[in-house]
Amino acid sequence: MRTLALLLVALAAAGAAPAHEADPGAASITPENLMADVRALTAPELGGRLPGTAGYDEAMRFCSERFASLGLTPGGDDGWLQRLTMELNRIDGCELTLVGADGVVEPLALGSDFACRGFTGSGVADAPVVFVGYGLSLPERGHDDYAGLDVRGKIVLAIKPAPKWEPVDGEGWGDAHLPRPKARAARDHGAVGLLLVPHPVAMRPQPAIASVLHGPGEQVGDLPQAELTTAAAARLCAGGLPELAGLVAAMDEAKAPASRELPGRARLAVDAAYEPAAPTANVVGLLPGTDPELRDECLVIGGHLDHVGRQGEVVWPGANDNASGAASVLALARAFAEGGVLPRRTVVFVLFAGEEQGLNGARWFVAHPARPFERTIAMLNLDCVAHGDSIQIGGGGSQPVLWNLARGLDAAQARLSTARTWPGGGADAEPFHEAGVPTLYFASTPSYKHLHQATDAPETLNPMLHKELTRLAYRTAVDIVQGWYIGEGEKSR
Ligand SMILES: [Zn+2]
């Protein structure tokens, strides 16, 4: 794989003009500026930017002040803020100790061996562990991992993802495999705690991740819920990982439950506080278009500001996901505001809340436009844009003209984009795509080594890649707002 340093040497040797000579906007996007903003957004005081908390509010204030200092126009319904509410679960403490099949007591390390599920309930569960397969109780649909099992007063251990195979009715698993419906099934059967583990066969060994994606339905506030590594979970089985993997393989082979009591036990203690509708906001700034014919059309440039927060003393900083994308949005705002380009169309800069919970902020933005424009000509999403060594641009399967525009601009500059793309939107671009807005999704690649782990820290980022990707997004945005790109049709330049 080509390194950026080699590429820059090659460009210099070829006598290519440095980008900044031609383009002060792009030149204002520097690794130093980007990393300064990433560091500010990942500071421990911001607590992993969980919407509804003081840390997320501080991140909103940081971005609002930047927009103000750049002379943007407030684009929210309350100044820079577009207010909305969403569920919030503050996790003030959590501990998990296993008593292995061998009787050895092992306290697990929060943030590496295990993490609470974002919408865990509170309480202390200290009980033997029962393996409940995929944790699905759908007897009316021909599958019940709890059939014939007494889990009252027990902690249940379930495989986290949905089965790869279909239920007998062929209707798919729907939302039943998500953590909240699994928690409800566990609680309804009298269990006192839920442990989720990655699939031990189908997946590479996975770390325990923190996640606030929980699925529909009522909060199960009295059931502590955590996710642990396969290696930790295997200690609950007499035969270790081979036994756990064998149980799951047998279950997948037979497409039938293989639930059973395990010799190990666990103690899971969680202190959490749930709010069904905590106030939070998207942050929105506008750069009004200057062309009387085109200024009622807009380009939306967005990235999510939120991450998964903290649990007890452990903070998930979310440097790549998505302090990097938020820093890029701020850098793009600066490039437009100070780079001398007078955009013909209006540029809307948005930092979304609640992506991690299920695209809440982006969905809200699309459904409740604070400024209704005649047309949103395109949306550029920046999410996980600074880890790795290359650039991936999603959405090309649905928007080949837009994708080729960005790819062509990259070919003339950094030449870091891969040929891989995907159709549709993805993440915060998805609600825009669903609404018929052409989208591109900028991400670095390989981007997800530290995804949702406490190790997603600024030191793991590639600042030069971050700069090149952000400059590429900027050049793409300039072409869109200046009219070179004219939507469904041709690129006319
Ligand atoms: Zn993200």
Confidence band of 492 (pLDDT split at 50, 70, 90): very low
**Among 303, 434, 301, CA closest to 378:** 301
pTM above 0.85, yes or no: yes
Q: How far apart are CA 135 and CA 146, in angstroms?
A: 7
Residue 194 CA to ligand 1 centre (angstroms): 26
Residue 384 CA to ligand 1 centre (angstroms): 6
Residue 209 CA to ligand 1 centre (angstroms): 14
Residue 321 CA to ligand 1 centre (angstroms): 5
Q: Is the dihedral of CA 11, 13, 17, 18 positive or negative?
A: positive
pLDDT tens digit sequence for 363-377: 999 999 878 888 899
| Domains annotated on the chain, with CATH | 4-71+288-482 (3.40.630.10), 89-274 (3.50.30.30)
**Cα distances (angstroms) measured from residue 389 to each of 1, 320, 362, 414:** 8, 13, 28, 12
pLDDT tens digit sequence for 53-63: 999 999 999 99
- Kindly give, in sequence order, each residue whose CB lies less than 8 Å from that of residue 276, ignoring residues fewer than 6 positions away: 87, 219
Residue 107 CA to ligand 1 centre (angstroms): 30
Residue 443 CA to ligand 1 centre (angstroms): 10
Stretch 184-190: mean pLDDT, rounded? 97
Confidence band of 12 (pLDDT split at 50, 70, 90): very low
Q: For residue 248, what are its two tokens?
A: 């799951």
Residue whose pair of structure tokens reads 């900027």 in the numeric block: 474
The pLDDT assigned to 202 comes to 65
Examine the pLDDT at 156 and tell me if it is beyond 90.
Answer: yes
pLDDT tens digit sequence for 386-436: 999 999 999 999 999 999 999 999 999 999 999 999 999 999 999 999 999
The pLDDT assigned to 155 comes to 98
Residue 478 CA to ligand 1 centre (angstroms): 24
Stretch 343-357: mean pLDDT, rounded? 97
Examine the pLDDT at 278 and tell me if it is beyond 90.
Answer: yes
Q: How far apart are CA 318 and CA 56, in angstroms?
A: 12
Mean pLDDT of the chain: 91
Residue 383 CA to ligand 1 centre (angstroms): 5
Q: How far apart are CA 493 and CA 483, in angstroms?
A: 9
The pLDDT assigned to 37 comes to 98
Residue 181 CA to ligand 1 centre (angstroms): 23
End-to-end CA distance of the chain: 33
Residue 304 CA to ligand 1 centre (angstroms): 7
The pLDDT assigned to 486 comes to 54
Stretch 34-42: mean pLDDT, rounded? 98
The pLDDT assigned to 373 comes to 81
The pLDDT assigned to 11 comes to 34
Residue 210 CA to ligand 1 centre (angstroms): 13
Residue 456 CA to ligand 1 centre (angstroms): 12
Residue 435 CA to ligand 1 centre (angstroms): 21
Q: Would you tell me the crossing angle of helices 325-338 and 54-69 to the nearest 10 degrees?
A: 20
Residue 355 CA to ligand 1 centre (angstroms): 7
Residue 25 CA to ligand 1 centre (angstroms): 26
The pLDDT assigned to 369 comes to 86
**Among 81, 87, 53, 54, CA closest to 67:** 81
Residue 279 CA to ligand 1 centre (angstroms): 21
65 exposure class (CB count in 10 Å sphere: 0-12, 13-18, 19+) = exposed
Examine the pLDDT at 170 and tell me if it is beyond 90.
Answer: no
- Kindly give, in sequence order, each residue whose CB lies less than 8 Å from that of residue 8, ignoring residues fewer than 6 positions away: none
Share of the chain above pLDDT 70, in %: 93
Residue 329 CA to ligand 1 centre (angstroms): 14
Q: Would you tell me the crossing angle of helices 31-41 and 54-69 to the nearest 10 degrees?
A: 150
The pLDDT assigned to 203 comes to 57
Stretch 338-357: mean pLDDT, rounded? 95
Share of the chain above pLDDT 90, in %: 86
